[in-house]
Structure formats: C-alpha cells, structure tokens
Amino acid sequence: MDVLEAVNKRKSIRAFKPDPVPVEVLKKIVEGALHAPSASNSQPWELAVVSGAKLKEIKKGFLENPGRPTVDMPGAIQYPEPYASRRAAVMSGALNLMGVAREDKEARVQWGLQGAKLWGAPSCIYVMIDRVFFYIDDKINIWPAFDCGAITQTILLLATENGLGSIPAIQPVLYPDLLREKLSLPASKLMVLGIPIGYPDWEAPVNRLRTTREPLDKMAKFY
Ligand SMILES: Cc1cc2nc3c(=O)[nH]c(=O)nc-3n(C[C@H](O)[C@H](O)[C@H](O)COP(=O)(O)O)c2cc1C
C-alpha cells in the first residue's frame, strides 16, 4: 500500500471485532512508528501496548464509575467557530449512523460508554510523555505533544497498511490515575491519548462515517 492510499483509507473506527491482533503485528507497527520525527530527535513518547486480560481489567475499571473524568493534558474546553461546527458535524454524523436522537439522553450515555469500552477494540496503544519534559519552568512545553501527534499518525497509517482499524482518542485516557495504577506506572507518566486498535467491524453502521475536510484553497496558501 502506498502512503497516499494509506492516508486516504485511514479513518477513525468506532466498532471493532473482538478478534485479537497478533503481538508480532502490534510490534511491527510500533517499531515502524518509532521512526516518526521529533523535536531534536528527543523521542519524548512512551508507549504502553495493552491487550488481553490487562485491557479487560482497564475497561472494567472505566465502567465502574471511577469518579469524575479528567485529563492529564490541558485540552479545548470551548470550541469557537469554525471549530465548533466541524466538531458538531462529526458528533451528529456518528449519532445519526447509530440511530441515536440528539434528545435521547439515555442512548447518548450508552453511546458514550462505548468509548470507555474502547469501542470493543482488543488492544490499545497508550501514548504518554514524562511530566519532567512537559512542564519546563512551570510552563507547558508544547513540543513533546506535537511529537506524540507525529508518532500517533504514523501508528494509524501503519495500522491501516496492516489491515487494522484504529482511532486516536481522548476517551481512553479520561481516568489517567486508574490507568497508571493498572499499568503500574508512576505519577510522572502523563497520558496523552489512547489508540484503540483491532479489526474493524464493517457491519457496524458507525464505521460508515466519513468525515469531510475543508478544501485546499481554504486551508493552504501557495506563495
Ligand atoms: C487528539 C485527538 C483526540 C480524539 N479523541 C476522540 C475521542 O475521544 N472520541 C472519538 O470518538 N474520537 C476522537 N478523535 C477522533 C476524531 O474525532 C477524528 O479523528 C476526526 O473526527 C476526523 O475523522 P477521521 O479520523 O475519521 O478522519 C480524536 C482525534 C484526535 C486527533
């Protein structure tokens, strides 16, 4: 598969088959992704690839109401325009395909729980960085987060090349303390995002979602 084909084929998958992904395939993807660029080749990412009983334990923990969700990485609390409209389009697109009405609170809660279950994925790659490099003189160092984005996209593309589906997502890291406890990690390991990965369930309506993109002439100027 060439790069452009992988770029075009990749999309976020929100329903997976339970079939496990062979660990050799996961290793191949992660090893390949380690070639992603990073500022000064600092390679600030740390990856936890979790499957099997440990992942089941994590999913169970997420479903047992572990308290208020929180995040290690400061993120968007508000979406001004034009970002709000783009976000709304993805959310309503997914809910429509699932047959969930906007006003049906219970159905929306149930759909939200799918995220806690990692949409049924048999594996999840957690992307982390160490606190010591994320805060410098009490200020946020944005570069390692950027680098984590680079390795994340590389993982997603290699997953596509290997016939796997994936989704970069915040929902899998909404209880970072629980993750650190289950994975025996120190408090210094900050959870950036999770990448549920596995074989897509193409029968699931939600996987028909195709998000749109703004056109080239709106997003890029050529000088
Ligand atoms: C940093 C980041 C966090 C995301 N978090 C979530 C999430 O928590 N739940 C979700 O359903 N999708 C999440 N997504 C997926 C985006 O909604 C998706 O990438 C976007 O709508 C574009 O669609 P596509 O990936 O299918 O091209 C996230 C994507 C990124 C890059």
User: Residues with beta carbon inside 6 Å of ligand 1?
Assistant: 11-12, 14, 90, 115, 167-171, 193, 211
**Ligand 1 center to 137 CA (angstroms):** 31
Distance 223 CA to ligand 1 centre (A): 31
At 82-95, the pLDDT tens digits run: 999 999 999 999 99
pLDDT tens digit string along 48-74?
999 999 999 999 999 997 889 999 998
Domains of the chain in start order, with CATH, are: 3-76+117-210 (3.40.109.10)
pTM over 0.85: yes
Q: Ligand 1: which of 12, 62, 73 to mutate, most ligand atoms within 8 Å of CB?
A: 12
How buried is 167 (Cβ within 10 angstroms: 0-12 exposed, 13-18 middle, 19+ buried)? buried
Q: How far is CA 29 from CA 10, 23, 105, 129, 164, in A?
A: 14, 10, 38, 19, 10
In this structure, the residue with its CA closest to atom 23 of ligand 1 is 211
* Tens of pLDDT, residues 161-202: 999 999 999 999 999 999 999 999 999 999 999 999 999 999
